[in-house]
Structure 1
């Protein structure tokens, strides 16, 4: 069902007012409509004197109290807790923000530092401030760190939804709502794309400092091992700072394996591999195809990187909707069933993959 025009325009006004200014492209992505549609809405809102247009940028002319939207009652706040320096989850945050603000809820954003157990004091602070619910993406660099959070998270006392985290089966958090990307399917997309181009020897490189990295490493190995056309594969760390073990000299590993393709988690490490290969006289994609995993900045490289793109904004939106349903249920005594939702990534084919011509 299409969103009513007046509701979409109220969302545009609310988004622009919150930031002071917004790019037309960003608004189109957040509202999941075309740039042309946003431009038409902006033109109408400009004629009404509610917006000012610039070159690809929209600014609000309204004072904060005039922005249309649902009034927010005192205490109608949701805490969103994400790790520091994690651009992937910031996109998830934007998806959650849209759904929550449409429902008339304020967001209290808390950034967890890069130290073990950093999320707990952030959540406790939010609870002391009276938040009604929590959207949370713990860093969980190791299984032990995840285990250490189980007990206190299970006893929060307010509706909570995990984003991009899937608690271990049978754990204290198994019965907590969660929304995450299906990283096995993302691994499948990457391998299937490369094999379809004719690649038979592939190097996989993942970080080793997050649940996503651990899940993706296991999935890539499983998919490659089961694929009848993959002759040989190897795993390495994609960053020297990503953890212990594994090789970080990917160019050397590609040569040793005779590999013609690589899949890297995440985008920055993939972009750095392309640079490293160029310094060693290896061309991408002529000599080696490269697939990035995350698709946050993969399209900005030279060449633009083919990438597996998890539904980052959608994960946040669905998580927020889950939380809203649970908040509504807690108010009328009809609690919904716990849900563990997985959303499928997509593959964005760009310039860094092609048929193999010669082996590294």
Structure 2
């Protein structure tokens, strides 16, 4: 799906506001779009008064906090990332951009300069960015690796556990017992989020429920595992299944996902792309949890094209709440506390950087609970299916 214009421009603003003057050509390379596109975006942002434009350069309206505001290490020259906190997130990832802005607000209020690094989608892209930031003098790291597969996650464990500066993982929970188990982390409790979704559908009377989820991120893998556990443990759920929410929602052909557990025959193999209309007809499915909310909106549109009306024929709960409220109907959604994750991660990192009593205390693994935003996409199931 093509990235929305306003989201791309927000990414441009984030880079410019955190770094100061940035060349248009550098922005184009980092955002993986053409120079012409970035130049047009910069012109529009300048016209709206959101940044300043120079000869081939974009500048913030308000200059960032100077490096001198942050004590540099002895013998360090100002410039580069010296004294800054490096913030590394995947490109084109709306979910984590909200986390980024939460972290940024805390760091800026504390007078800490941010060095933002946006990782391209290639495997292992975060490591060279982190190494460059450290070479430039970054004194702390906030990072949300893409980790499209469990294998790519494990390949990052060794080097990320030994970066040598205080580090906090955002929205990532490494495998128990791994090299990163003892690394500070702040993330959403996705088990609880799925519990909210399933419990809402069950409370309305739904007994046959499907999860349509991505399979190309740690969040997606957590959601799929949680749904299988929760649905299997609820005696009210007569049948459940797990399918893909999008043909593009897989790690790649070289990293096949494990088969999903199944409650009963015909529950699905966990890999087929969702056809809710077919499940509704063949298995009597009346409720669906859809991850993420952009995929959810597209699936609801596909249902409408098949003559299936939400919520009359099938109730829907989206997992994530970036655009769910804009749907027709507006989608009931689980809302992970994305901005709060960023703020909590930044506060934890500042605690580690403070040098005061307790700064070297025990590792903290913090989980924040999602909430359920009830709207118009879920209701009691049709009587004929019960």
TM-score, normalised relative to structure 1: 0.79
Taking the TM superposition and a 5 Å limit, the aligned residue runs for 1:65-104 are: 71-73=69-71, 74=78, 75-104=82-111
Choose which of 217, 225, 235 in structure 1 pairs with 2:242.
Answer: 235
What's the counterpart of residue 247 of structure 1?
272
In the TM superposition, what is the alpha-carbon distance from 1:64 to its structure 2 partner?
4.0
Taking the TM superposition and a 5 Å limit, the aligned residue runs for 1:16-165 are: 64=62, 71-73=69-71, 74=78, 75-165=82-172
What's the counterpart of residue 213 of structure 2?
206
Question: Per the alignment, do residues 230 and 154 of structure 1 end up closer, same or farther by CA in structure 2, a change over 3 Å counting?
Answer: same
Measure, in 2, the Cα distance between the counterparts of 1:146 and 1:71: 36
What's the counterpart of residue 11 of structure 1?
none
TM-score, normalised relative to structure 2: 0.74
What's the counterpart of residue 357 of structure 1?
382
Measure, in 2, the Cα distance between the counterparts of 1:165 and 1:347: 21
Residues 200-236 of structure 1: CA deviation (Å, up to 9, x unaligned): 1111111110111011000011111111211111110
Q: Verify the 8 A CA contact 1:182 1:343 in the aligned structure 2.
A: yes
What's the counterpart of residue 12 of structure 1?
none
SS in 2 for 1:98: helix
In the TM superposition, what is the alpha-carbon distance from 1:141 to its structure 2 partner?
1.1
Give the gaps of 5 or more residues in structure 1. 1-14, 20-56
Q: Verify the 8 A CA contact 2:50 2:61 in the aligned structure 1.
A: no
Choose which of 218, 223, 227 in structure 2 pairs with 1:220.
Answer: 227
In the TM superposition, what is the alpha-carbon distance from 1:295 to its structure 2 partner?
0.6
Give the gaps of 5 or more residues in structure 2. 1-13, 19-47, 52-59, 72-77, 251-255, 257-269
Measure, in 1, the Cα distance between the counterparts of 2:309 and 2:296: 14
Measure, in 1, the Cα distance between the counterparts of 2:64 and 2:141: 28
In the TM superposition, what is the alpha-carbon distance from 1:72 to its structure 2 partner?
4.2
Question: Per the alignment, do residues 193 and 108 of structure 1 end up closer, same or farther by CA in structure 2, a change over 3 Å counting?
Answer: same
Q: Verify the 8 A CA contact 1:135 1:320 in the aligned structure 2.
A: yes
Choose which of 313, 316, 319 in structure 2 pairs with 1:290.
Answer: 316
Measure, in 2, the Cα distance between the counterparts of 1:144 and 1:285: 38
Residues 28-81 of structure 1: CA deviation (Å, up to 9, x unaligned): xxxxxxxxxxxxxxxxxxxxxxxxxxxxx9989x984799xx944553311110
In the TM superposition, what is the alpha-carbon distance from 1:250 to its structure 2 partner?
2.9
Measure, in 1, the Cα distance between the counterparts of 2:384 and 2:109: 53
Q: Verify the 8 A CA contact 1:178 1:341 in the aligned structure 2.
A: yes
1:300 and 2:326 equivalent? Answer: yes
Q: Verify the 8 A CA contact 2:197 2:372 in the aligned structure 1.
A: yes
What's the counterpart of residue 354 of structure 2?
328
Aligned length: 306
SS in 1 for 2:354: helix
Measure, in 2, the Cα distance between the counterparts of 1:136 and 1:216: 21
Q: Verify the 8 A CA contact 1:304 1:351 in the aligned structure 2.
A: yes
In the TM superposition, what is the alpha-carbon distance from 1:314 to its structure 2 partner?
0.5
In the TM superposition, what is the alpha-carbon distance from 1:358 to its structure 2 partner?
4.9
Q: Verify the 8 A CA contact 2:289 2:317 in the aligned structure 1.
A: yes
Q: Verify the 8 A CA contact 1:260 1:359 in the aligned structure 2.
A: no
In the TM superposition, what is the alpha-carbon distance from 1:179 to its structure 2 partner?
0.5
SS in 2 for 1:123: helix
Question: Per the alignment, do residues 63 and 266 of structure 1 end up closer, same or farther by CA in structure 2, a change over 3 Å counting?
Answer: closer
Measure, in 1, the Cα distance between the counterparts of 2:194 and 2:62: 45
What's the counterpart of residue 30 of structure 2?
none
